[in-house]
C-alpha cells in the first residue's frame, strides 16, 4: 500500500515550488499584482490537469505517439536551458524570460510546462501508476495535496516581489539562471543516458 504522507512529500519535492518561485517572479514582474495571481492560478490548474492526465494515461499516450519516456526529459531540458540563458544574458530588446514581449502574458509554456509539470514529475507519475495500478485514487489525492501546497507558495510571489524590489528580483533571476543551466543540463543528460541504455 502506498504511504500517503511519503508520496505527498515526494511529489512536493519534485514539484520544487521554492526553486520555481524566482522564475515565476521574473516572468510575471512586469504585470500588476492582481493579474499575476490570476495567471499563477491558471497555469497551476493547467499543470494539474496535465499531471493528472499523465498519472492516469501517461504510458498509453507515449505509446500511442510512439515516444519514449526519456523524450520528455530531453525536450524539457532543452526548454529550461533556453530559459536559463535568457535569465543570465537578458537581451537588449525588452523581452522577458518567457520569450514574450514585456507585459504579454505567458500561457502554458514555460510556467505550466516544464516548470511545474516538468519531466521529473511526469516520469514519476507514470512510474508510480505503473507500480501501483490499483492505487491511482490515492496517488491522485497525494498529487492534489502536493500541488495545493506548491500553489500556495507560488502565490506568495507578490510578497517576495515587494520585499526584494525589481533590482533584487533581477539579481535573483541571474543567480537562478546559473542554477537552472545545471538542472537543465542534468535533465538532458539523464534523458540521453536512459536512451542509450535502452
Q: What is the average per-residue pLDDT within 82-104?
A: 63
On the question of pLDDT at 91 being above 70, the answer is: no
- The whole-number pLDDT of residue 117 equals 93
- The whole-number pLDDT of residue 17 equals 85
- The whole-number pLDDT of residue 92 equals 52
CB neighbour list of residue 166: distance below 8 Å, 6 or more residues apart: 29
Quick one: CA torsion of 118, 195, 85, 33, rounded to 10 degrees?
A: 0
- The whole-number pLDDT of residue 150 equals 92
109 DSSP 8-state letter: B
Q: What is the average per-residue pLDDT within 28-39?
A: 86
CB neighbour list of residue 112: distance below 8 Å, 6 or more residues apart: 43, 44, 46, 47, 50
SS3 call for 107: strand
Q: Which residue has the higher pLDDT, 94 or 156?
A: 156
Q: Residue 22, preceding bond cis, omega within 30 degrees? A: no
- CA distance to 50, 58, 114, 157, 172, per residue, from 152 (Å): 19, 26, 19, 10, 20
- The whole-number pLDDT of residue 66 equals 82
Residue in 53, 52, 28, 26 with CA at minimum distance from that of residue 40: 28
CB 14, CB 120: distance < 8 Å: yes
- The whole-number pLDDT of residue 114 equals 83
pTM over 0.75: no
Give the range among 7-21, 38-52, 86-100 with minimum mean pLDDT. 86-100
Quote the percentage of the chain above a pLDDT of 70: 90
- The whole-number pLDDT of residue 95 equals 45
- The whole-number pLDDT of residue 45 equals 97
Residue in 54, 185, 61 with CA at minimum distance from that of residue 127: 54
Quick one: CA torsion of 11, 17, 23, 27, rounded to 10 degrees?
A: 100
On the question of pLDDT at 42 being above 90, the answer is: yes
Amino acid at each position: 500500500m502506498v504511504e500517503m504522507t511519503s508520496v505527498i512529500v515526494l511529489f512536493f519535492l519534485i514539484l520544487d515550488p521554492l526553486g520555481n518561485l524566482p522564475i515565476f517572479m521574473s516572468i510575471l514582474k512586469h504585470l500588476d499584482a492582481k493579474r499575476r495571481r490570476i495567471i499563477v492560478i491558471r497555469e497551476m490548474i493547467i499543470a494539474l490537469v496535465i499531471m493528472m492526465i499523465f498519472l492516469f494515461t501517461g504510458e498509453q499516450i507515449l505509446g500511442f505517439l510512439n515516444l519514449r519516456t526519456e523524450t520528455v526529459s530531453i525536450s524539457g531540458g532543452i526548454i529550461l536551458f533556453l530559459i536559463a540563458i535568457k535569465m543570465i544574458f537578458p537581451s537588449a530588446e525588452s523581452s522577458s524570460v518567457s520569450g514574450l514581449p514585456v507585459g504579454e502574458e505567458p500561457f502554458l509554456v514555460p510556467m505550466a510546462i516544464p516548470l511545474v509539470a516538468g519531466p521529473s514529475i511526469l516520469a514519476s507519475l507514470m512510474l508510480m501508476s505503473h507500480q501501483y495500478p490499483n492505487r491511482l485514487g490515492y496517488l491522485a489525492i497525494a498529487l492534489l495535496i502536493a500541488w495545493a501546497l506548491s500553489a500556495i507558495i507560488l502565490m506568495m510571489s507578490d510578497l517576495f516581489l515587494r520585499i526584494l524590489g525589481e533590482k533584487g528580483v533581477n539579481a535573483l533571476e541571474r543567480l537562478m539562471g546559473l542554477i537552472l543551466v545545471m538542472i537543465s543540463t542534468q535533465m538532458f543528460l539523464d534523458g540521453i543516458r536512459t536512451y542509450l541504455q535502452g
